[in-house]
Structure 1
Amino acid sequence: MELIPINWLAVGVAFVVVFLAGAVWFGPKTFFPVWWRALGKDPDDMGSGGMNMAVIFGGTAIAAAVQVIGIALAIGVATLAFGAVGPVGGLLIGFTLGVVFTAAGSLSHRLFGQQGFRVWLIEVGSDVLNYTLAGLIIGLFG
């Protein structure tokens, strides 16, 4: 018996879309160079900072999977409570979760870490976009 309905195909599609959107957002022609400089790093040294790239991408993939499953659970609860939410409802749920949990939740970390608003805006811009896209896709699959 499934307590909260989850469409695993929707979760898989949302995961791929979110992972690709993150790659574009932090690509070398988009926000990565600005973000890297805002972190106080040398633009000419855009490497991994000594970390293994498999760990970076593997950890990112695990985090994206957990986030998408969490969004699917939230949409599943909303579906049980109110009926099918559809793509617009999914989008709104994803957007709301992105703003409430990533944007609001990470602001104090960036400020106390003295990384400032630019780093925060770039990072949460990606997060909110990804949560919104995941919500849209999961809502679309119903």
Structure 2
Amino acid sequence: MFLAELNWLAIVVATLAAFVAGAVWFGPKTFFPLWWKLMGKGPGEEPGTGNMVVLFGSTFVAALVEATAVASVIYFVAATDPGFGTLQGGLTGLLLGVGLAAASSLSHRLFAGHGFRVWAIEVGSDVVNLTIMGLILGSWR
């Protein structure tokens, strides 16, 4: 099966890189304060409910699943393109981010009443993270 042929070290590194990028994106000096306000939350409210280990652990596992999916797409696309590398990997991640993550989440956010700006902040992180994953995975095939 092709999963055994994936570069699992690259997948873990891509996961960690995206996890760090997400932490920076939603940091206290970047988009978190605006996002939190747009979500209708006050300064005294804390994000997430319950155990933070479960919250961050689940986030990490989700990023690992994303990185595995990006690596799988790259595996199949690169099989037909011997020159596939970093740039193509980044473009693959960008395409997956815009074409799947951004497009599919827009209606969810708008129908939930969260608005376009909440969607833009959240999906911006997704697109950046998937692009970073693609760059790393494309360079380490």
Q: TM-score, normalised by structure 2?
A: 0.94
Q: What aligned pairs does 1:12-31 form with structure 2 within 5 A after superposition?
A: 12-31=12-31
CA gap 1:10/1:96 in 2 versus in 1, 3 angstroms: same
Corresponding residue of 1:71: 70
Q: SS where residue 92 of structure 1 aligns? A: helix
Give how far 1:48 is off.
3.0
Corresponding residue of 2:86: 87
Letter of the 1:138 partner, please give it. Answer: L
Runs of 4 or more, structure 1, over 6 Å off, are: none
Corresponding residue of 1:127: 126
- Structure 1 range deviating more: 4-13 or 83-92: 4-13
Give how far 1:55 is off.
1.8
Q: SS where residue 79 of structure 2 aligns? A: helix
The number of aligned residues is: 141
Deviations 1:44-75 (A, max 9, x none): 32x13433211210110110000000000000
Letter of the 1:53 partner, please give it. Answer: M
CA gap 1:5/1:80 in 2 versus in 1, 3 angstroms: farther
Q: TM-score, normalised by structure 1?
A: 0.93
Query: Gaps (5+ residues) in structure 2?
Result: none
Q: What aligned pairs does 1:107-118 form with structure 2 within 5 A after superposition?
A: 107-118=106-117
Letter of the 1:80 partner, please give it. Answer: A
Identity fraction in percent: 52
Deviations 1:97-123 (A, max 9, x none): 000111000000001001001110000
Q: SS where residue 73 of structure 1 aligns? A: helix
Query: Gaps (5+ residues) in structure 1?
Result: none
Coordinate RMSD, CA, aligned: 1.5
Alignment partners' CA distance in 1, 2:4 and 2:134: 16
